[in-house]
Each structure stands twice: as structure tokens, then as C-alpha cells.
Structure 1
């Protein structure tokens, strides 16, 4: 088994995760290709997902990301890996929910109980929400809350139960995000928006292979962390598909190919998938800088990465940046951020 350094590992992961900017297609096609190659992008902050596309492509724009989701519909925003919001390729939505949705629903049972959302209430809510969306099209949170209140399923339209029921219906594959972002976001019925219901069937070995393609070298626990799969399931799938093994500081990591690695510097958006794809983030980010990137409260700031290692943070508002060590030339990246934003 070959022995490799941490520097090699991080550079190889950066290349696997498309941070060498392999995707050269423009328009929605380029957006979908990035999303497909990475297995999905974290999208709890829509802007973060959009800038994750930029960091992995050369010709896409901010408008292209909206078009891919809202017009071309080649990508879907919904709850997938770990039950969190993701942007995934349309053909992956059904398989991912088939593999991950039931466990995420089970893992949310305690919260459902705290909110008084019984299985019967959740089932009725899913029917009512889907029926409304099929009839009325894209609908915002306030109107969906009104639907639930009028049906007698919840009492408080501003409470957390509204979002919990919307998310639950999404995990069933019956609704997803539609047009609009942030305060203007809406939801739509999947079978209307995509033209047909999702087929909720997935292959766990295929998921493991795609994960290792986009994040390897990695471990079974990394796959479990990224996806939300149980560790034993992830371990069996990884063992079935891995073709390369490497020893790095006493640990064995596996992959599906041996990559030379990327030395590129990239400005990542907030909640970038690269920084959420592994159980242990200490290799990519030194302990003394953790709070600068992960300040608490579930936040993950826009990061500067070079050769797979986090070397600083940056701000969208004024495109300023703070590096943790020696200066690096970011002129090309800053210019591309401006190009992307239009």
C-alpha cells in the first residue's frame, strides 16, 4: 500500500471535488455538470451553492444557476444528504431520497414529537400541501402555513411546525423548492415541476462510488458523515467499490482513482460542500483557525482554499479577504467572482 502525505491527500481531494475547475460548459448545462460531478452541493444558503458552482467551472454565471433550477430544471433544490438542503442533479433526486429519506424521517421522530406532529398529522399535511401546490403552483411559506392552519393540522402559522411539515413532505419526494430565493423562496409539487413523480429507488454502492469519485481518498465514516447513511452500510458499500488504498499518517483511506492533485487557489462560497464532506476537517483546517471559518451557530463562512487546504476567509460584500499565513495571488479569482456575479 503506498504511503502518501497530507499535502498530497488535500490536493487530490481538491481535484476530485472539481476545484481544478474541470467544467468548461456555460449556461445551465455547466451548472448541472458541476452538481452532477460533486454528487450535490450544500444549499441551505442559495448563494453558497451558486458560488460553489463558480469555484468549479469557468463559464457559468449567477443567473445560470437560477436558470438551471427554475427554467431548465436540470437541478433540484431539496432535502437530501444528511436531511439538509442540497442542490442535486434532477436524475439523482429520486435515488438519493430512496436511500436517505426514510432514515432522515426516522431521525426526526423526536422533533416531530416535540412539535406534536404525529404520523397521521404528517401524512395529512403532505397530502394537503401537495394538493395545494398542484392546484396553485409555486407557493411561499405564509400561504402554505395558512393551508395547514385551515386544515386544522397546526395552530400557529409562524411556528417551527410549518417548516417541519414542508421538509417532511420534501423527504417523501412530493415537493421541492421552486422559483425565488431567500425571502422570496417558494415550493412546488415535484410531479408538476418535474413532469412526473420521483422514483424513490437508489443503489448504495453507486452512491459510494460517486462519493469517492468526488471526495476521495476518504473513509467509510466520511461517506456516512457526508450522506447520513449508517456507518455499517457505508462501510460495506465503500469496501465493495474502492479500487485504490493509501496510508496517510497511519490511517488507511480509499479511492476509485489515483489523482495528481490540484494546487489551485479558490474562493469558496459559504457552506461549501468540500468543507462538509468529511468526518475530520482538521487536515484541511488548522485547529487555531477553526473558529474563523466555523464561528458557531451552524455557520460556515466563505473560505479561501489552496491545494485543498483552507488558508483564509473572504467576504462577498466587498470581496475583501483575510489570509491566515503568507499572501497568495487571488487576483484571477477575484476577477472571476466579479464576472460570475455579472
Structure 2
């Protein structure tokens, strides 16, 4: 009898186009999800459901969450998200990657505790400006101040300086933001309205206490549902966390595994969509810093090496658009003029489809009207 070593079949390979189509399908960018459908098979049936399913939307500025949902939901109207924000069902708060996101109230109260270790590490960079500052005392005082009435960051810094006059004002404000789950109160974030950033605690704004951080396994499953197939490093990049390998290993028996073209192991949910790589992908207009472009360590599933780094210059971030599922150019809107700047040559059909999509975006977010959609220069 001959003993033969048990051999494990190699994991299937997923190239950039396969990963692209899989991620677009989960992001509702391959086919828009109906915004008001009650079909049980539809994973996102409202603006609220979409924000929850996508684990939040990048919201460094006011408009990006609205543009993000306009690209992903059929039948979306900006009032849908604006009403949720006014009703405190969704909020704006610093969470993933130390950036502002629009989250559901439930995710605000749980995801922020999950990423709190990253906020503590961020604070370590500013210790020199906090010499002599009792951080526990700072957190308690800051909470008292913003729960008495919402405060701008400037007002909060000035109040904290009274207690610690020798500290760096910027570091004091950042310490408050890192130690406390500070949300931006409305009217900031409402569509068609303006308001300066004023802060209070999530618990005070939502009228309920923070909840324990969810089990890491739960968040891994949710991340893979919205951004997979993905590697451990991909999820760590998305969350701004480290040491997630053990969590993936615990989940390995229930996950599928693949390899990308570089041999990196990718994990995925068994029943998640992985469309044919040749599935047509329509053009989409995205906001600046859309999470599609920021949620993987290896972004080649959407961003080719030739287009890497072209969506920002210095501190200036540009809105971008996809053609055939990949980053293909920039866009901007000035009054009633929408300018599209492709990175390379587009076919006549691609240009026509892109103009049609731009017109749809304008109508959804700004109503019927006469708009000038042109090809030109966006990045100056």
C-alpha cells in the first residue's frame, strides 16, 4: 500500500476584471439597486439600507454621500438621505481611516468602538502638544462642553485652552475627537442647506448609550459582502485596523478562498456574487474619495497603474468617473456646466454613455433643467 500525501487543490485565480465585476456588483455599481423595492432578494431597498449595507459612505464634504447613492440606487432622491439625517437615523462621524463617514445610528454606536484603538494610535502622534494634559480629564470636560450645547471645533479648543493654556490648540481638539465619538449635528450634511460643523457626542445626539463593539467576525462578513473578494490587508486598509489575520483564520471553514494575479490569498462569502468578467459595466460618476477607491490595499481591481494617484493633487480631491468598471477620468460641476476629463481616449459609444450618465446624475440631484455637459479640463 502506497502512502500518498494529501494535496489541496490550488485556490482559483481571480484576475483584475473578475475582482472588478465582483466588487462593482456588491457596490450596486454594476446594476443600480431599486431604492423603493420590497423584493426580498434585493439587498438594498432604501437609502438607509444602502448606507448600512455599504458600512457607511465617505463624507469628508457634504455632497459625496448623495452622489454616492445617486450612482448606486435607482429611484434615489437626495431628500431620502437628508430626511434620514434630520431624523437622526444616520449621522456624520469620524470612523474608518480617521475620516468622516455617514453611518446609520446603529453602526455609529458600534463601529466607532471597533475602530477606537486606531483613534488612540492616531493620538500618539500629537503627544508633544499634550504635555501635562490629563486625557481622561480632557475627555470628561469635552463631553460636558459639547453635551451642554453643540460646539464648533474652534469653540471647543478655546474652552479646553482655559484648562491647559500651554497645550497645542490643534492637539487639544484632536484629542477630544479621538477620545469621544463626536458627531456633526444638523443642519450640517442636509441637502440644499448649509451649516458650520458643530459637534456633540453620538450618545447625546442619538439619545442612547454606545454599544459594545461587534465581534470582529461579524464585521469581516459585512466587509466581504460589500467589498469582497478581499485579502486580510484589504480589510485592514478599509478599517484602519491591524491584526485581523486571526479573525479571518477563525472564519476560514465558512469562507471561499481565491488568489489574485500576484498570488495574494483572497477570502469571500460562498453566496456572494462573482459575475463573469465580461459582464458589461456602465459608466458611473463618483464623488471624491468614494469608498470604492479606498477600501483595498491593492486597488488595481478599479484603479489601473496608469491612473493611480490621479484623483487628487496635493490637498485637492477630484470627483471621478468609471468607464468599463475602471477609473477613467475626473468630473466637476460649476453651476449648470458639468465638465468631464477622460484620462485616455474613449470610443464614441463610451462618450455617449458617459454623457447620458452625467445627465442622469444632474437630473436626480438637481432636478430637470438645461445643463451643459462638455469634455474639457478638470485638474488645473
TM-score, scaled relative to structure 1: 0.86
Q: Secondary structure at the match of 2:333?
A: coil
In the alignment, the residues of structure 2 paired with residue 206 and residue 154 of structure 1 have an alpha-carbon distance, to the nearest angstrom, of 44
Report whether the alignment pairs 1:293 with 2:311. Answer: yes
Deviation at 1:204, TM superposition (A): 0.4
Partner of 1:153: 164
Deviation at 1:224, TM superposition (A): 0.5
Report whether the alignment pairs 1:115 with 2:134. Answer: no
1:97-142 deviations in Å (ceiling 9; x for gaps): 222102321342132x12225561x322322222223222x33233
Counterpart among 239, 245, 249 of residue 239 in structure 1: 249
Deviation at 1:221, TM superposition (A): 0.5
Counterpart among 345, 355, 361 of residue 325 in structure 1: 345
Distance 1:118 1:276, change over 3 A: farther
Aligned partners of 1:315 and 1:321 also within 8 Å: yes
1:275-299 deviations in Å (ceiling 9; x for gaps): 00011223422223224223244x5
Aligned partners of 2:35 and 2:47 also within 8 Å: no
Deviation at 1:96, TM superposition (A): 1.4
TM-score, scaled relative to structure 2: 0.78
Distance 1:80 1:33, change over 3 A: same
Partner of 2:364: 340
Aligned partners of 2:283 and 2:323 also within 8 Å: yes
Q: Secondary structure at the match of 1:160?
A: helix
Aligned partners of 1:285 and 1:310 also within 8 Å: yes
Pairing 1:115-134 to 2, within 5 Å after superposition: 115-116=129-130, 120=134, 122-134=135-147
- Compute the RMSD of aligned alpha carbons: 2.5
Partner of 2:175: 165
In the alignment, the residues of structure 2 paired with residue 195 and residue 119 of structure 1 have an alpha-carbon distance, to the nearest angstrom, of 29
Partner of 1:282: 300
Unaligned ranges ≥5, structure 2: 1-10, 38-44, 367-380
Partner of 1:9: 19
Deviation at 1:262, TM superposition (A): 6.5
Pairing 1:48-197 to 2, within 5 Å after superposition: 48-69=64-85, 71-111=86-126, 113-116=127-130, 120=134, 122-136=135-149, 138-150=150-162, 152-154=163-165, 159-170=169-180, 173=181, 175-179=182-186, 180-181=188-189, 184-197=196-209
Higher mean C-alpha displacement, 315-324 vs 217-226: 315-324
Deviation at 1:143, TM superposition (A): 2.5
Q: How many pairs were matched up?
A: 328
Q: Which has the higher helix share?
A: 1
Unaligned ranges ≥5, structure 1: none
Deviation at 1:219, TM superposition (A): 0.4
Partner of 1:31: 47
Deviation at 1:195, TM superposition (A): 0.9
